[in-house]
């Protein structure tokens, strides 16, 4: 296993893991469809969650530009 050199990572790679894990739990374990899951989310909390996922996914780009 080797790591990419510093500054050569793709944005969104690390955020894909928790996002995929959540969808696996929602669809597989809880048995909900995607639309049912979205309907059960708190609107404010869901918006904050998506915003933080996007910030986490785009963090490598911000770091690359500041270097």
Over 70: is that where the pLDDT of 4 sits? Answer: no
Domain assignment present for 8? no
Domain assignment present for 2? no
Domain assignment present for 59? yes
Residue 62's domain spans which residues? Answer: 13-66
pLDDT at 41: 80
Domain assignment present for 46? yes
Sorted by sequence, the CB contacts under 8 Å of residue 32 that are 6+ apart come out as 26, 40
Count the domains in the chain: 1
**Dist CA 49 CA 65 (whole Å):** 25
Tell which residue, 4, 2, 3, 8, has the closest CA to residue 64. 8
pLDDT at 51: 87
Please give the mean pLDDT across all residues of the chain: 76
Q: Answer with the residue of higher pLDDT: 48 or 59.
A: 48
Domain assignment present for 20? yes
Q: Are 40 and 32 in contact (CB under 8 A)?
A: yes
Over 80: is that where the pLDDT of 1 sits? Answer: no
């Amino acid at each position: 296993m080797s790591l990419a050199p510093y500054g050569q990572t793709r944005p969104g790679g690390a955020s894909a893991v928790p996002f995929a894990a959540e969808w696996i739990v929602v669809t597989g374990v809880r048995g909900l469809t995607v639309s049912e899951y979205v309907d059960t989310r708190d609107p404010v909390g869901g918006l904050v969650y998506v915003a933080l996922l996007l910030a986490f996914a785009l963090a490598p780009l911000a770091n690359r530009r500041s270097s």
